[in-house]
Structure 1
């Protein structure tokens, strides 16, 4: 048994400041993810050659609940593996292995749109959007990371054209209230928002799918014509030099009206960045897709649970 005993474990679960999730949500995660983890663990034991019976030998120092809590604290606060190892009374390698096993399982869950409804792919989101007919909002967000080593191939592609820093980006889809519905795998920050959307297949999904409305910023201008008007972006400026005063007033009014409709996606991204693992990533870039999708899934689960307990929000 590590330093974290039953009393300390219960205190961690009760504190939403530590995990970012309500105790009820953590209980649902344990019930859902624990069987998947045990199944993969047993499959790994069976697949490798060994001289003794499967399951023999030393037992885990961290039970699954502790492994989940370690992963949640790491995502929520960006706590290092050394700190978590000291806190839970195990070796650093045990923490690294636990996070590496649990985090992909959380990333595969997808976003919770409603109780019992998960959206794991962009196609799921478009189908769901067509079913309820409500407006959705898309935007791209960048996550800063360490600069790749000098001489490494592809080093420059991680430099963002927007802020000139090393980063990766993901495309976020929210509902009209800013609740998360989808978070894409990461892409190097040099990739334009509209290019990223095309790579994800958004144009084809919308062109072949139901008549829906998706709000986007100026970074996605051009998608409207390619999707039959399903992607709505700010109006183009028709007069680039010496515009009439009436046109400036009209254009500014239209731009602000569009911005006020899509501001909720910025709020959704803000809630996402409250998880310190996404404020700035200091680890390996190869894990970023799992990290951002795991956090999006956890946050959407909590948002859905909060909405269920407060239906008038």
Structure 2
């Protein structure tokens, strides 16, 4: 992966001339990341092409989180016209690979992640758009728009109507800042005295919405298995930390949001393959279907389950085939 044009001049202008630049793992967006090292100093260079990515929300939400005392990488320098941002380096200790090496730390780390959410949700949301009914529906429609044609099915009627009775349950609690991709691959273990133990990544798409969304994202993780026992324990931990919530309503919203998110991701991962030529993402489809089939068994999902049972046969619930 070659650094973008202008990297050398950008680094020179901000005191990093002559630094080594090497690639880091990217994500599902058009953003790319590089580690910049100069002597004992290190930073992360984010390349976010301005014609494809608007980095202003990332910077604003990161600043908001930092002001509240949460650890989000802060910008050391930025040139938004080029789409270049130099960020604090949180290291390499992402929670997912850390737990692969040390599974015994799982309960402690997940407890810290749940406690972080409970603390964040005590604050009003930042100046971000609302997680509206229209947005929930737009996301849910990614499934019929992308997944169904990819497995040879035509869109069936009644999709939007099946979801309609569920949306009111997502507006029963005051909105909080929803980071929208809160899971083990976007959490960093930090060794920084005076800071939160967990660092936050990938929050630029944050909205003001229901507090159960990020909890569902954490506990129904696409990329790593969270046992039903751990999910139940962490859900109970969050509820105990926020006794002011209506627990029954919260748990219902959690079930709906877990289903909505996993169904949406079936569509997103199909789009990443069909439109963007990224063949790794359909490999997650079988795991997603396991979670979706379980999600649909919750009584609150009855209308959506009926739609799936009518229009998405079992033979179409394995995923999109990727040619070898």
What TM-score, normalized to structure 1? 0.25
Structure with greater helix share of residues: 1
Greater C-alpha radius of gyration: 1
What TM-score, normalized to structure 2? 0.25
Greater relative contact order: 1 or 2 (C-alpha under 8 angstroms, separation 6 or more)? Answer: 1
